[in-house]
Chains A and B, each alone.
Chain A
Amino acid sequence: MVSRKTLIFWFFSVIFAGLLPYLISLYNLHISIYVLQNIIIAVSWNIVAMTGQMSFGTAGFFGIGAYTATFMWELFKFPTILNIFLGGFLAAVASLIFGLICLRMRGIYFAVTTLGLTEALRVTLIMVHAISFRPLGTSVPVMFGGLKQYAYYFILIIGLASIITEFKIMKSKMFYAFTSIRTDEDGATMIGVNPTRYKIIAFVISSFFIGIAGGFYPFYRGYIEPAAVFDVSISIVGIIMPLFGGLYTALGPIIGAIVLTILSEKLRFFLTANQLIYGLILVIAILFMPKGIVGSINSLREKYPFLFPKAM
């Protein structure tokens, strides 16, 4: 089923990723953690996109994960990793409830509703802090006593788990359900696919991982506030990365997350123009590579097979 070449590729990738903390500076390790966080978000968003739903609620579930983890620590002083998983779990439950209500909506209605949910959560958390006379920002003990290496390994494992989940979905029966719903929901339902059921499955799986990424955030930074974890840019970035890398493909969100995260970090040195350059790169990418990086490579391979001598 899996080719030997693929296994070798993944084996060495994982080894490389595992050795990374010993190969690069602390600053670059921080960026790598950021990259992994974005890989999780991008891969998760892609899973939901495969069912044809465009979610703007990524930040909402990220924030639910973050605040659940924080409250679990504040109330029960559970160990950090348990808090983070509870964050993921609660985000999944929230997505189930939300999904049962809203996943019947199609297209833009669903997108706007998810956006509204995120904003509602952000404002609610601000109000909760105001009513209980708490300052908006909360300090949280940093995991593993601040040793970035271990934080890196934790998020690496979660990242790998999300990638494996995505690949498993792509090779499963569910791939056919997801794709049929996305391409023609009426056609899908007539052929026996229950659209709402599979949209919810995708949504819950996705929100679980996003929630864990969210739970990780405060215990990595040592700090949480509503504006940071319910930031709409988390949702936007979660959409742009799979688009850039290749929507509905397995590698696309991963490549998109790696390239765009590193790009935005390196662009920081252009103090005033960095956002402009980033935006320009995105526009050029959409114009010349509408199918993203992976999609464009696939198109090239079809048109010019001689460029890709070995069959992949």
Chain B
Amino acid sequence: MTLLKINGLTKTFGGLRAILNFDLEVKKGQIIGLIGPNGAGKTTIFNLITGFLHSDSGVVYFKDKKINNLKPYQICKLGISRTFQLVKPFLEMSVLGNVIVGSIYGKNEKKISLMNAEKNAIEILDLVKLMSKKNVLASNLTYGDKKRLELAKALATNPELLLLDEVMGGLNPVELSEFMKIIKDINYNGITLVLIEHVMQAIMELGEEIYVLDHGKKIAFGTPAEVSKDRLVIESYIGKVD
């Protein structure tokens, strides 16, 4: 079943064509990778999907419903959550408080009590291994823990589709393999994932299909093996060999 479908997405900022005619299809249960050099437009696509930016043309379908002009909080309630590349923890709240916000206002808003939201938040903290720090103020967390919190907040909203923006950037090897296991668990529990990543090891191992973006255009698509051998992809990262 197709969960997310993007047709002909285009976004221009003044004279700059950020995204041009981008197509994407994600089926339920998949892990899709979105890679490309810096500035290719990957985060812009996430912003367009989640309502932080309005597209100039093109359509985004979620479960066959057009979601182009919805606001981010509406899109969250439909079942799409995302993390931010520059993490946005609620610094004045504790780790637990941060996640509770997601538990309350995600897909469950009308039905959940504060007590149940707290229970749900604790389960999620357990999943991302932040339980021991649940009462720590978010501003006092290490970088790696802030990334865990970012993931926890998004998970708390009970999404069907999770968009992770460079969630593994800046992690040490131990944290990296922990995160990769967490992502596999999340997917195993039924959540569809789209990952923007620069950490090639992660994306090649996790991704079923990879989209490659350069200067706002899709330049390649395929399995990790296919994409890593694609000449255009190699050129976009390393440069042309003359």
Residues of A participating in the B interface, judged by any CB pair closer than 8 Å: 172-173, 176-177, 179-180, 182-184, 186-195, 248
Establish whether residues B157 and A191, one from each chain, have CB atoms under 8 Å apart when the complex forms. Answer: yes
Given A183-B92, A190-B50, also A176-B72 (CB < 8 A): no
Which 7 A-B residue pairs are closest in the complex by CB-CB distance? A192-B105, A187-B88, A192-B76, A189-B72, A183-B90, A176-B101, A189-B73
Establish whether residues B71 and A189, one from each chain, have CB atoms under 8 Å apart when the complex forms. Answer: yes
Q: 10 A-B pairs, CB-CB below 8 angstroms?
A: A177-B104, A179-B92, A180-B101, A184-B91, A190-B72, A190-B82, A190-B84, A191-B73, A191-B101, A195-B73
Instruction: Check B114 for interface membership: any CB of A closer than 8 A.
Output: yes
Instruction: Check B41 for interface membership: any CB of A closer than 8 A.
Output: no
Establish whether residues A191 and B100, one from each chain, have CB atoms under 8 Å apart when the complex forms. Answer: no
Q: Chain B residues near A177 (CB, 8 Å)?
A: 101, 104-105
In the complex, the number of residue pairs spanning A and B with C-beta atoms less than 8 Å apart equals: 82
* Alpha-carbon distance A129/B107, docked complex (angstroms): 53
**Which of A173, A182, A184, A194 is within 8 Å of B88, CB to CB?**
A184
Given A192-B157, A193-B73, also A176-B52 (CB < 8 A): no
**Which of A179, A188, A192, A194 is within 8 Å of B106, CB to CB?**
A192
Given A176-B97, A176-B100, A180-B101, also A191-B106 (CB < 8 A): yes
Q: Chain B residues near A182 (CB, 8 Å)?
A: 92
Instruction: Check B147 for interface membership: any CB of A closer than 8 A.
Output: no
Q: Chain A residues near B91 (CB, 8 Å)?
A: 183-184
* Alpha-carbon distance A248/B92, docked complex (angstroms): 11
**Which of B50, B84, B156 is within 8 Å of A187, CB to CB?**
B84
Establish whether residues A193 and B93, one from each chain, have CB atoms under 8 Å apart when the complex forms. Answer: no
* Alpha-carbon distance A192/B106, docked complex (angstroms): 5
Given A173-B114, A176-B97, A179-B97, also A192-B88 (CB < 8 A): no
Q: How far is the CB of A154 from chain B (nearest CB, A)?
A: 33
Given A176-B97, A179-B97, A183-B90, also A191-B153 (CB < 8 A): yes
